[in-house]
Structure 1
Amino acid sequence: MGDWTALLPHLGDTDRRQVEIGLADAGERIRAVLGIASTYYWGSSVTNVPEWSTVESWSAEDRRRAALAMHRESASASTPTALNDVVRALASGDLPFTRADLLWCLHVAAEGACFDNGAHLELPAVIAPRLTAAELADLVPALRALSSELVDDYFIAAAPRRRFVTLLGQAIDRATGSRLPSWLLHDGDSFGPAVRAHLDADLAASGVPELLEHCAALDKPAATAKWLRRLDELLVAAHGGRQVVRRLLDAFTAHGRSVHDDTDRLLRGLVWALSRARDERATELLARATASAASAPREAAGFPYASRTALAAVRLLADRDGDVPLRTLARLAMTVRNKAVRSRVQTALTQLGARRGWSFSEVMELAVDDHGLGPDGQLRRAVGPYAATVEIVGDRARLVFARDEVTLKGVPAQVKQSHEDDLAELRALVKQVGATLVSERQRVEGLLSEERVWSYPEWSSRFLDHPVTATYGRRLLWEVSTDGQRWTAGLPRRNGGAWAIVDRDGHALDHGPVRLWHPARASTAEVLAWRGHLVDAGLTQPFKQAFREVYLRTPAEEKTETYSNRFAAHILRYRQANALMRARGWQAGYLGTWDGGYDSEATKVFGGGAWQASFHHALVDDPEERRYDVEYCSTDQVRFARHDGKTWQPAPVIDVPLLVFTEAMRDVDLFVGVTSIATDPQWADRGEDRFSAYWHRTAVAELTPSAQVRRDALARLLPRMAIAGRVDLAERYLRVRGNLRAYRIHLGSGNIMMEPDDRYLCIVAARQQTGRLHLPFDDDAMLATILSKAIMLAADDRITDPTVLSQLRPSEIG
């Protein structure tokens, strides 16, 4: 038990004897009833069985004694079932409980050893609110300490825990005369105490406590008509009630941290209260509250700050008019990792789009926030004597200051001292633009799995003129068609004063329907030509497009019909793999050594919501060392399903559209290629023999499509490098001739073998260095790793790291 037990007043022997009179007889009678009932009704509440009618005929004093007896029973381990409902049923009605009864119950609970659903706290929680303020006065410190302990006691089920906290809070408030219930906004999180201190007078105003109690009493995401009628009455009756609702939600949006489950329930009721107002400011606040509730800490992306509030707020926001709900929900659809919240967001967007005549994909496209930036991706504002500019550079947003048209290196001291509010607002804008850039990059890349076609004016306004999306749209390949049959590829370029799609020769293409270019639909000659053009022109795409891997169905996959084993039987570093899955938008249950945690199915929607891919993987357990934390997982099948109404129906691999198949398999290849233990250069030193065969086999295996694309990129980049005369590109390896010996770097794993004896060389690069070399894409870390290793090994006589030297020249070291 916690510190509250030390705060209990002493229970005298006289009071103890008075309380315990007749408990032995009462206890025997109750146990007899329980014994008969449990024989026939195991697993159900004994208060619902016929034998319980005997108890209901007892007098008030007999019931009081029986309740006290069962309280003592519940605080021991002699009865194998939870007794919450038994104790509560016995104590119901106007029974003659005393202060001594409560004190005795608290001492028994403090000394007990049974914590089955907190049954040992049922009776003290029932008795406490029935006593007078005078009888409770010296018990307040212990009751407060007990309540504080209970709010974080997750060994007790949520319903009884909330009941105990609420009832004990009623007793505390009676003793202290507090108007605001102590169980509301309690100290189970940092939010409750902060708003109590800041809004103390407002929260205690006439009618406000009753309003907040009602909000906290909402048990489900959707409010009933009866609950809403009472809510409207309380909003009118409470002094400044509507303002208090808004101030509390404002405080929550600024909080930026997780809240207790009880606070989450209160906030859920508050967003319903806010939704009763239809003004624009209410919509904006509801949008901020939705985004805040759905946000999650970086280290626990699947656990929103207030999941119950998020689920309710998403539904409420989708019913509002204007662009704010659309943009907020679209951003959440790309950033939320919690499966339940994300599903609710996608459903809300689909419904919202249907009302406005848009597909889900189009909803996401039209909802991109421009944050007030101009077509050039900039927003300029005067801050004192300085010109502040929020601008997009590449894939990032930044804030710069200038004076007299001279750009400054940092934030001027005068701005920090005299314009704090302006500076905070601009920095917040940079953060918001940055978040939109991240979600837009993911959304635009996701279009590669869709067969979307835009009219030229639609495409131009959404991908060239939009200040955020344009940073990606202007660097991608697009195809134009005048007849819907033949498509010609080109890059957006300024042609005079306007943007146009131009081919490799610089000729502007006609303004016909536009679609996003994908190498899977292009000929090999066209793909190679565009790769060469990007490298020659020094262009960098926001993600792999011209150099994108293509995955075609194999005869083996057509034979298995319903699944692909192409990436099965690999061993991955699990935490890294799981993080990468989530970063790529896949939803997966976390593996662990608990029931149901030994295997998982990661899923992601492709093709604009029409298709779903699932990647099966399982825990790899060490039989000699039982670990709670999972270190490795093994890969298994990839399956596909087609969206059919509200369900997903399994589909044969042969029916999966080409773009959906290749994009899904590319993601899985990425998981394997990045997180396989075969890419760990230190693996050979770990001494884990159970995976040695896999590691050695995979470290030199045939190249996957991603490694083949890497090889093609190297073929174009190496001739431009200073080490060009020292390298040769083979089918699986990059051979490097150093001054001490020669080396082979595997293009898939990045592992190095030294010639002539094929001895393994372990190099863990502290940082990747490729000099001034331009890369046509920046989302392949292995490419940069291989280049940095090649640069190092070409000048192996200049290496000073003793761990590397000991492998190169073992006879000369120590």
Structure 2
Amino acid sequence: MIRLWPFGHREPAITEEILGWADEVWPARARQLPFSGSLAWILRAEDHPWRGALEESLRRLETRWSPAELGVLAAEPYFDPFPWQERLSQHAHLIPVTVTVLGACVVRHPPPDIDARLEARLRVVFANPYAPLTPHLQVQRGEIAFTTQPPPTLEDYLALLTLLEPTSAVLDVIERLVMGDLDAPVNGPPPHGIGRGAARGYEVHLGPLNQQVPALLERLFQHGRLGYEVFARAAHCMPFAIGNLSQRADPRWRAPQADLSPFLRTVRDYSGRLAWDLAQDLSEDNYHLLKQMRGLRGNQYLVQAARLHDRLRLGRLVWKDYRFSDGLESGIVHLAAAAVEPASAEEHAQLVADLRQVRPQTLKAMLPIAWRARAPILDALGWSHALPLVEQIVSTAGLESAGPLEETDVRNSPDPNNGVLDVAAVRAALAQAGDDTARQVLALFRSAQVGARNTVRLIEALAGWERAWVEQGLAKRNQIAVKAFGLLPLERGAEEVAERYLFLRAFAREARSFGPQRQASEQAAAQVALANLAQNAGYPDVVRLEWAMEARLGSAVAQPGEIRSIEGYEVEIALDGFRPEIRVRRGGRILKSVPAAVRKSPAYAELADTIKQMRDQAARLRATLEQMMGDGASLTAEDIAGILRLPLGRAMLASLVLVDETGALGMLADDGAALVTLDGGRLPLRAPLRVAHPYDLYQDGSLGEWQRAIVRRRIVQPFAQVFRELYLLTPAEQGTSPRSRRFAGQPLDAAVASRLFQARGWEMGQDEIARPRKRLASASLTAVFEFPDAGHFLAEHPAVTSGEIWFEPSHGMARDPVPLADVPPRLFSEVMRDADLVVSVAQRDGAVRLSPEGYQRRGELVQALLTELGLPNVTVDGHFARIQGRRADYRVHLGSGAIHIEPGNHLCIVPASWGTDADGLFLPFADEGDRQVSIVVSKILLLAQDDQITDPTILAQIQRVQQG
């Protein structure tokens, strides 16, 4: 039993009792309670893990004292805690536990004078916020360290008001608190280091008041005690608390389908009424309070803002950070921003009439701030012809769809759609507005800083008014200038389009030299610029622009098969699969290296530059076709003709399985006029076509047949198509839908994971929890991969753990995950493939771990290759290939390539040890990043013919096993 020294004339028997068994009842983790709010925290969650300890504590106390005695005994130390707490220098870790138990006693058995005790204590706290009521008690035990006042804190006492039985007396205390009657001047100066302090107690305690007052007001409402006068007085003495409460009533802060509770409807109505009262007599003394009234909606506020602005003869209004700025202008901005589009023609006409009573200068200042009422403001100005232009500004900047804390405007972003204009619509809007009005409208939106400044830049670039700024920005790699570059008027036709295309491709390539965040945003800026350029030049989309430019550029340089004579040598551009290269011959023999005389020739330099362009082209074509496969994008007859005009495009398209609109599968015939089916039949080419996804082949039941056919015909595909990993929705995922835990719980290297995500086109946004996102434009969905233990960005800490994956709508305010079964299977498979790549490669221990889909893909590939090669002594069994050799039996792991001589002896082989170039092995796809597949297959082929091995190191290992 812990003995406490008596203080005054009373011995605190209840605290002595609690401390006697606290260590026994409360688990060690529970003894590390927060300094405040513990009681409310535990009582409001019935399944709270420490609820049992609290109930056991109350049972013990109720066994010793009657309810009436217990309430009084607990109230004494709870409302006068410091004399006994300062005695606990050796047991400070139990102070929060003791306070929590005492508070629970007061809630369950309140003394008759609980309201008087509580109010008296609150008055002391507000009047003496800086008083050193407890000597500086510092105890480092666990996480407990009090340097000023231990609990109960003001937050505890305020929480008590929400937990006590709502008697009339308790509600009276709440009412007096929220109306400011308990506030008092602060006694004494603040301690050294706190600053100049505040004049009144409520100002010192803004934090707990802002947190608890909304709940107290709701309690008054529930018992019919929240009138407008109480609300208004609460707003005057605690504006931030009421502002936070009114924010909850703002429709932009909740899901569209969620209805306001009766309490929040009352808050909304009272906030609007108070805002209107303040607006009638706006002054330097009350505009701060006006700005705390959130969620205002109504054109009466706009009219009043216009009248105030007109009467005060103010100039421009600035939206940016107006909530944190001073001056009457910020209050007027707040009122003007409450404007709404009139609901009827009569309301529109009345609003126009009211607005015409003020100066045109006022209306111009209002237009960008009150953009929700843009039509009546423009009518009042006589600028109705500029409405389409304002609509384009609002939609492009994202003002309409942005949430309260979301950034608007075009910005530096990894989003490849951020900054893409509807060029035809903006051109038409500019033409309708006319130069003079358009310039004025754009200048107003830029100067008001409403979150459309960069949008204005883009529109001005399209109009041809910002060429100098764009050119200067390009030199500095300004990403907004890059996005605008594709919009500048084209003065030299197709030649200028090609020049811009090459510049933007080079810009994206040069971005690789920067860090991952900048690299992603710069590459996205180049993609936005290409999308703008495509529209500007009359192409339906970026893909068609790319094909047209590649065909144009390809026709201007040397072609594969072309031979030139340089310094007596024959120099040829040849295709090794899809990789262009230079071959030098002399006397009919291909030389292993380029002679110095050839290398120094200007003609050779020209060919080398051509090779570089062709390799870049090959990479772009490969990426485009792979993306089209994943998205399910269609190829028109014109698209196909454009691809076939490119030698590399023809080679790539001819190696892929295509599917027509009837679902028929085949490969392009040599003449490009038909599809050749598995059995060799010809189907007339019926566009549009798609690049078949493995899911198409799986659904058709022909995936295995196509795999065998590709291997048999020795076809190399530009990327893994028929041997691509296929991820189908599993029963487990159906059970956890709308979230998948397929790749959850894996410890990963954060930096490696971040790089892999960005390479696969995921956006690395910042949030309280890092959540890489990938936009799936074809389905208007966004894939989200959560990392619950990451920082604000994925690579903030070295190690992270993978979490759940889900899909949510890309547009609108709703962000609820969609059921996994509703996600298009192709897109589901591609997202899971990305996730598998990250989880497999970024393992914290550096190992590469294949998923079941990864092992299945390698097993299918090995089986197809070995069947074609006629090697019956090799079988695929789960994660292993088993080989019956002439010298021994072997087991090769399909993931790591590790080899064991049965029954369990390790065999060490590295590719260089048998002189085989693993990269030269036939594989049915040209993915450069999967060299490990070549190594695994090469080892299997070597061991399948182990009687032909001559390498002494390998033979010595095998012989040691044979000899025992």
- TM-score, with structure 2 as normaliser: 0.43
Asked whether the equivalents of residues 780 and 810 of structure 2 are also in contact (C-alpha less than 8 Å), the reply is yes
The verdict on how the C-alpha distance between 1:654 and 1:345 changes in structure 2, with shifts beyond 3 A counting, is farther
State the alpha-carbon separation in 2 of the partners of residues 464 and 569 from structure 1: 46
CA contact (8 A) 2:560 2:574 kept: yes
1:474 aligned onto 2:654: yes
Residue 618 (structure 2) aligned to one of 437, 452, 463: 437
- Structure 2 equivalent of residue 555 of structure 1: 731
Deviation of 1:744 after TM superposition, in Å, equals 2.8
* TM-superposed deviation, 1:364: 4.8
Instruction: Give the deviation of 1:489 after TM superposition.
Output: 1.5
Q: Secondary structure at the match of 2:646?
A: coil
C-alpha offsets along residues 402-434 of structure 1, whole Å, 9 cap, x if unaligned? Answer: 6899866654554455x44x4433322322222
| CA displacement, residues 180-234 of structure 1 (integer Å, 9 cap, x when unaligned) | xxxxxxxxxxxxxxxxxxxxxxxxxxxxxxxxxxxxxxxx99xxxxxxxxxxxxx
- 1:641 maps to which residue? 808
2:578 equivalent in structure 1:
395
Aligned 8 A contact 2:554 2:646 in 1: no
Report what 2:645 is aligned to: 465
Alpha-carbon distance between aligned partners in 2 of 1:537 and 1:412, rounded to the nearest angstrom: 36
CA shift, 1:445, in A, is 0.7
State the shift of 1:437 in Å. Answer: 1.6
- The 3-state SS of whatever aligns with 2:678 is coil
2:553 aligned to which of 366, 371, 383: 371
Post-superposition offset of 1:734: 1.3
Letter in 2 for 1:745: V
SS at match of 2:833: helix
Q: Report deviation, 1:566.
A: 0.8
CA deviation vs aligned residue, 1:657-710 (integer Å, no higher than 9, x gap): 2211111112222333444468849xxxxxxxxxxxxxxxx78xxx61222122
Question: For residues 560-616 of structure 1, what are the alpha-carbon distances to aligned partners after superposition, in whole Å with 9 as ceiling and x for unaligned?
Answer: 333221122234455554444343333447xxxxxx899743333445584432333
| Alignment map for 1:50-449 (pairs within 5 Å) | 308-321=477-490, 322=494, 323-324=497-498, 325-326=500-501, 328-329=503-504, 338-355=519-536, 356=538, 358-368=540-550, 370-373=552-555, 377=560, 389-400=572-583, 410-411=593-594, 413-417=596-600, 419-420=601-602, 422-449=603-630
**Does residue 937 of structure 2 align to residue 790 of structure 1?**
no
Letter aligned with residue 530 of structure 1:
W
CA distance in 2, matches of 1:795, 1:619: 50
Residue aligning to 2:838 = 671
Match of 2:874 among 711, 721, 727: 727
Name the SS of the counterpart of 1:371 in structure 2.
helix
Corresponding residue of 2:308: none
Is 1:718 aligned to 2:866, yes or no? yes
Contact 1:314 / 1:329 at 8 angstroms: preserved in 2?
A: no
- Give how far 1:447 is off: 0.8
Contact 2:809 2:815 in 1 (8 A): yes
Q: Residues 360-392 of structure 1: CA distance to partner in whole angstroms, max 9, x if unpaired? A: 554555454653347964666676776654454
* 753, 773, 777: which one aligns with 1:603: 773
Question: Mean Cα displacement is larger for which, 486-495 or 658-667?
Answer: 486-495
Q: Distance in 2 between matches of 1:563 and 1:318?
A: 41
Cα distance change, pair 787–468 in 1 and its aligned pair in 2 (3 A): closer
Contact 1:551 1:666 in 2 (8 A): yes
Following superposition, the deviation at residue 752 of structure 1 comes to 4.4
Q: Who is 1:653 aligned against?
A: 820
Q: Distance in 2 between matches of 1:811 and 1:709?
A: 33
Partner of 2:157: none
**One-letter amino acid matched to 1:603:** R
d(CA) in 2 for partners of 1:380, 1:556:
59
**Counterpart residue identity of residue 566, structure 1:** R
Shift, 1:541, TM fit: 0.9
Rounded to whole Å, the distance in 2 between the matches of 1:639 and 1:332 is 33
Give the Cα separation in 2 of the matches to 1:778 and 1:315. Answer: 36
For the 8 Å contact 2:873–2:883, the answer to whether it is kept is yes
- Whether the aligned pair in 2 keeps the contact of 1:311 and 1:341 (CA below 8 Å) is no
Q: How far, CA to CA, are the matches of 1:774 and 1:314 in structure 2?
A: 42
Mapped partners of 2:958, 2:770: distance in 1: 40
SS across alignment from 1:736? strand
Letter of the 2:684 counterpart: D
Aligned in 2, Cα 1:763/1:382: closer, same or farther, shift over 3 Å?
closer
Aligned residue among 761, 782, 801 for 1:612: 782
1:519 has 2:694 as partner: yes
Structure 1 letter corresponding to 2:526: V
Q: Report the structure number with the largest CA radius of gyration.
A: 2
The reply on whether 1:507 has 2:681 as its aligned counterpart is yes
CA drift at 1:442: 1.5
Please say if residues 743 and 752 of structure 1, whose CA atoms lie closer than 8 Å, have aligned partners that are also in contact.
yes
* Structure 1 residue 520: Cα displacement: 0.6
Structure 2 distance, partners of 1:478, 1:410, is 39
Letter in 1 for 2:939: K
Distance 1:620 1:511, change over 3 A: closer
Could you give the per-residue CA deviations for residues 308-334 of structure 1, whole angstroms, max 9, x where no partner exists? Answer: 434423322432424223455467668
1:502-555 deviation line (CA, Å, top 9, x unaligned): 223433321311221122123353222211211111111111112222212223
* Counterpart residue number, 1:745: 892
Partner of 1:707: 855
Q: Which amino acid aligns with 2:931?
A: A
| Alignment of 1:454 onto 2:602 | no
How far residue 476 of structure 1 moved from its aligned partner, in angstroms, is: 1.0
Corresponding residue SS for 1:535:
helix
What is the distance in 2 between the residues matched to 1:790 and 1:665?
29
Query: Using the alignment, how far apart are the partners of 1:408 and 1:771 within structure 2?
Result: 20
Partners of 2:799 and 2:632 lie apart in 1 by 37
Distance 1:316 1:651 in 2: 37
- Cα distance, 1:450–1:333 mapped onto 2, change above 3 Å: farther
CA contact under 8 A between 1:548 and 1:709: conserved in structure 2? yes
Is the Cα–Cα contact under 8 Å of residues 573 and 631 in structure 1 kept in the other structure? yes
How many residues are treated as equivalent by the alignment? 490
* CA spacing shift, 1:577–1:369, aligned 2, 3 Å: farther
Q: Report if aligned partners of 1:581, 1:671 keep a CA contact under 8 Å in 2.
A: yes
Q: 2:451 aligns to what?
A: none
User: Is the Cα–Cα contact under 8 Å of residues 543 and 624 in structure 2 kept in the other structure?
Assistant: no
Change (3 A) 1:339 1:448: same
Distance 1:462 1:639, change over 3 A: farther
Report the TM-score, using the length of structure 1 for normalisation.
0.50
Distance 1:276-1:566 versus aligned 2 partners, 3 A rule: same
In the TM superposition, residue 339 of structure 1 has moved relative to its aligned partner by: 3.0
8 Å Cα contact 1:557-1:564 kept in structure 2: yes
Q: Quick one: which of 520, 531, 535 aligns to 2:707?
A: 531
- CA contact 2:575–2:581 (8 Å) conserved in 1: yes
1:781 to 2:931 alignment:
yes
Q: Is the 8 A contact 2:562 2:572 kept in 1?
A: yes
The amino acid across from 1:747 in the alignment is L
Match in the other structure for 1:736: 883
Q: What amino acid is the match of 1:315?
A: A
Are the structure 2 counterparts of residues 353 and 725 from structure 1 closer, same or farther at C-alpha, using a change threshold of 3 Å? Answer: closer
Q: 1:799–1:375: structure 2 CA closer, same or farther, 3 Å change rule?
A: closer
Aligned-partner residue type, residue 733 of structure 1? F
